[in-house]
A and B are shown apart, each in its own frame.
Chain A
Amino acid sequence: MKRFLWPLAIFIILVGFLVVGLKLDPREVPSPLVGKPAPAFELPILHQPDKRFVPGDMRGKVWLLNVWASWCVSCREEHPVLLDLAKRGVMPILGLNYKDKRDDANAWLKQFGNPYELSAVDADGRIGIDYGVYGVPETYLIDAEGVIRYKQIGPITPAVLEQKILPLVMSLKK
């Protein structure tokens, strides 16, 4: 009886590892930028092409930077959550329109609604690389000092918003 205990124990440990592994999403690569200052950039604004936006303009505010594109399917899934959040007025939401065409982006916002205070246009995806974007949508929570506090990879779901983002925002605003 005793000689079977060891293999059994090893088997159970192995199963434990596999169970944990099943629950991990390999697509979620932890960002090294969390806890670091948000990379600076200067980009034209979607609805005012002659004006430019720098993240420094948001100093003193806790805000969301949401990377989106009109060609991105998951962005449509996420959009109602952002619209609702904007309506509640918890914090400013800014868009980073990633590798998109201006006309497509404007049409998309007209069709689905615009939760953004403004969207910065990253037409060739260079700023996306600075932010470590590898799949749209991605969202960064940036605090009053301009430090990235949280990164959401993939769409923000109502659960993620209520359980992770909003509590963090509350603690950051204190």
Chain B
Amino acid sequence: MKVLLFLAFFLFSISGNANPETEERIRRLSEKLRCLVCQNQTLADSNAELASDLRRQLREQVAAGHSDDEILDFLVQRYGDFVLYDPPFKATTLLLWLGPFVLLAAAALVLVTTLRRRRRAPEEPALGQDDKRLVERVLGPATPSGKPDGGAR
């Protein structure tokens, strides 16, 4: 039975009866849809049995003269938004679509503020009290000219 069916499809596909425009439409649609069995594949890529059933649905609906939107709606009503390979842009997916840009903007803001702060800050940080004491102990007290007196003592 399956061999016969295959043969029939094969003959059908090489007989030139298949309208290349229709085929192209079915291919385009099946690339927009997700196979729910192997979830990281589109319907076009998947060999799962459900995928071939759904491709058959696509073919029938195209043949029945439904528009692309009607066909996608048909599947969304049954399988939910998840069946669309690209999630739709709506309130619940706002974070998904805009999140990366928000993160990018936040990162840019942090970068700019840190760079600005760094530019404003003195090149070399002033020594703390403890550091000064340490320097004086090793090098001796600072001379008025600002140079240590060479540790001559």
Residues of chain A touching chain B, judged by Cβ–Cβ distance below 8 Å, are 26-27, 29-33, 99, 124-126, 128-132, 134-135
Contacts and interface: CB of A to CB of B under 8 A. Distances in A.
Contacts of B36: 29, 134-135
A33 B78 contact: yes
Given A26-B39, A134-B37, A129 B80 contact: no
Contact of B78 (A27, A124, A132): A132
Contacts of B49: 99
Contact of A130 (B50, B54, B78): B78
A33 B79 CA distance: 8
Contacts of A125: 50, 53
Contacts, number: 38
Mostly, the B contact residues are helix
Contacts of B82: 29-30
A31 B80 contact: yes
B76 interface: yes
B102 to A, nearest CB: 14
Q: How large is the interface on B (under 10, 10 to 19, 20 to 34, 35 or more residues)?
A: 10 to 19
B78 A129 contact: yes
A135 B37 contact: yes
A32 B76 contact: yes
Contacts of A30: 80, 82
Interface in B58-104: 76-82
A32 B50 contact: no
A154 to B, nearest CB: 13
Interface string B13-35: 00000000000000000000000
A9 to B, nearest CB: 14
B57 interface: yes
B75 to A, nearest CB: 8
